[in-house]
Amino acid sequence: MNNVTRRSFLVKSSLAAATLLPLYGRVGAAQSAPTAVKPAGARVLVDWHSHYASRAEVRFFSDRGQAPRIVTSSDGIARLQNVDTASFAAGTPAVFSPSDIPARLRHLDQNGIQHQLLTQTVALGLDATVPIEDLRPLFRAFNDELAEVVHRYPDRFFGVAALPTADPQWAAEELSRAHRDLGFIGGSLPLNAFSTLEGARTLAPLFAAAQTYRSHFFIHRAPASSHVPGQPPVVIPTDTDYARWTLISNSHLAAGGITLGLTDFLDPYPDVTVQVIMLAGFLPYLIDAIVPAAQKAGVKDPLQRLRRLYIDPGPYSRIGDWVELAASKLGADRILFGTDYGVNGGTNGDVAPAIATLDQALTPQQRQLIYIDNSRTLLKLKGRTV
């Protein structure tokens, strides 16, 4: 597998002498707060798939009179009541409270994880259910709060900005602010904005700004704003929903991976990196069918085009043969370690099962890439040394 990507080629050539952007900007007093001590002997450099719940979101959801909103049940516990979307089954209202950073740091230390990428909970589908007039102040408040955490613990956390798809120009301005003033490395976006090339192209102003800052995009499964065309219709299954939501989710993930990998959308943005969660769904399983079909259609080097993407296993890190398959089809050098660490601690507040599973499923060489080397390579492209 050829390890030379469009990213490393450009950095080694014309961009090698470029001046790196400032790593941190203005966040007030939070910058001078004490930092946490790095865990000794970290086994994993970065957990690239984690979610952060903010006080700003709690306030916002608590003030709403309709879903998505926070309701306090008879037991006195605040729970988030969401709505069904094409990528999210609302189900029973779930406990929602601000993330516990000290507990998160303990979990990371206990499992030998040195850094974590903090992202907004885009899986909630806010782009599809909340008006843009409300999203702008909410996302700005979230980004400011996330910046406080990142600057308090600069040796432990990286951040990506919450960005709306309904207003790409405002999103571009907020991304610029996130790089310039907040010290973030990029932004997070809902996957279904990339279901088709037509939909992806609506985000051209945002990606033009991202090219300037060499941004990293975290793409999580979720519907985008109705302003984005070409998204799959909202299908609410009425039978075997426990299986059909998995089918819907993985189909959407694969569609997004195809748009980002095989179309020309990313061609004008060679300095932008893109991470699709959950192994891009069914995409690794379809590689052997997609590649010859693309070649027959005249696509040059379709596998290398797909390898422009980074993928992370997220919750699938606990299904070893899925990660093993993805490594064999796309290459272990395109997989980032990620656990889907959630708003209140992740899957049972424990990332140990993910590491234990991958330790068994992957070769030492694959683990070295996924646990350490890929993160170091990607962060170097963003001007970060770890």
Give phi and psi for 278, each to the nearest 5.
Answer: 55, 40
CB 332 within 8 A of CB 307: no
What confidence score (pLDDT) does residue 302 get?
A: 98
pLDDT digits (tens, 9 = 90+) for 27-83: 333 333 333 444 456 799 999 999 999 999 999 999 998 888 888 877 878 888 777
**Which residue, among 267, 303, 305, 268, has the nearest Cα to 288 in the 3D structure?**
303
Token pair, residue 139, equals 């996302």
Question: How many Å apart are CA 48 and CA 158, to the nearest integer?
Answer: 9
What confidence score (pLDDT) does residue 84 get?
A: 66
**Which residue, among 49, 51, 127, 120, has the nearest Cα to 86 in the 3D structure?**
127
CB 365 within 8 A of CB 327: no
pLDDT digits (tens, 9 = 90+) for 197-248: 999 999 999 999 999 999 999 999 999 999 999 999 877 677 888 888 889 8
> Got the DSSP string for 11-72?
HHTTTTTPPPPPS----GGGGGS--PPPPTT-SEEEE--BB---HHHHHHHHH-SSSSEEEE
When pLDDT is averaged across residues 136-151 and rounded to a whole number, the result is 98
Choose the weakest-confidence range: 36-40, 154-158, 256-260.
36-40
Mean pLDDT, the chain, integer:
86
**Which residue, among 292, 258, 257, has the nearest Cα to 275 in the 3D structure?**
257
86 pLDDT band, cuts 50/70/90, is: low
What confidence score (pLDDT) does residue 320 get?
A: 96
* Residues pairing with 90 in the sheet: none
Give phi and psi for 88, each to the nearest 5.
Answer: -145, 125
Pairing of strands 69-72, 78-81: antiparallel
268 pLDDT band, cuts 50/70/90, is: very high
Question: How many Å apart are CA 218 and CA 189, to the nearest integer?
Answer: 6
Residue 175 pLDDT > 90? yes
What confidence score (pLDDT) does residue 80 get?
A: 81
What confidence score (pLDDT) does residue 41 get?
A: 63
* Residues pairing with 161 in the sheet: 187
CB 161 within 8 A of CB 139: yes
What confidence score (pLDDT) does residue 87 get?
A: 54
Long-range contacts: 28-36, Cβ < 8 Å, 24+?
30/147, 30/148, 30/151, 30/152, 31/151, 33/151, 33/152, 34/152, 35/152, 35/153, 35/154, 35/155, 35/156, 36/105, 36/153, 36/155, 36/156
When pLDDT is averaged across residues 14-23 and rounded to a whole number, the result is 31
Amino acid occupying residue 77: I
Question: How many Å apart are CA 72 and CA 52, to the nearest integer?
Answer: 21
107 pLDDT band, cuts 50/70/90, is: very high
In the chain, what percentage of residues exceed pLDDT 90? 69
Strand ordering across the sheet containing 69-72: 69-72, 78-81, 94-95
What confidence score (pLDDT) does residue 67 get?
A: 82
- Residue 95's SS3 state is strand
88 pLDDT band, cuts 50/70/90, is: low
Cis peptide, bond prior to residue 68, ω within 30 of zero: yes
Question: How many Å apart are CA 224 and CA 193, to the nearest integer?
Answer: 5
**Which residue, among 254, 255, 248, 247, has the nearest Cα to 197 in the 3D structure?**
255
Question: How many Å apart are CA 301 and CA 286, to the nearest integer?
Answer: 16
Domains present along the chain, CATH in parentheses: 6-14+21-55+99-381 (3.20.20.140)
Residue 282 pLDDT > 90? yes
Residue 153 pLDDT > 90? yes
pLDDT digits (tens, 9 = 90+) for 311-327: 999 999 999 999 999 99
Give all strands (DSSP E) within the chain, no chain letters.
44-47, 69-72, 78-81, 94-95, 113-118, 157-162, 186-190, 216-220, 273-276, 310-311
CA distances from 152 to 52, 157, 174 (A): 15, 9, 21
Spatial CB neighbours of 25, under 8 Å, sequence gap ≥ 6: 180, 181, 182, 183
When pLDDT is averaged across residues 161-190 and rounded to a whole number, the result is 98
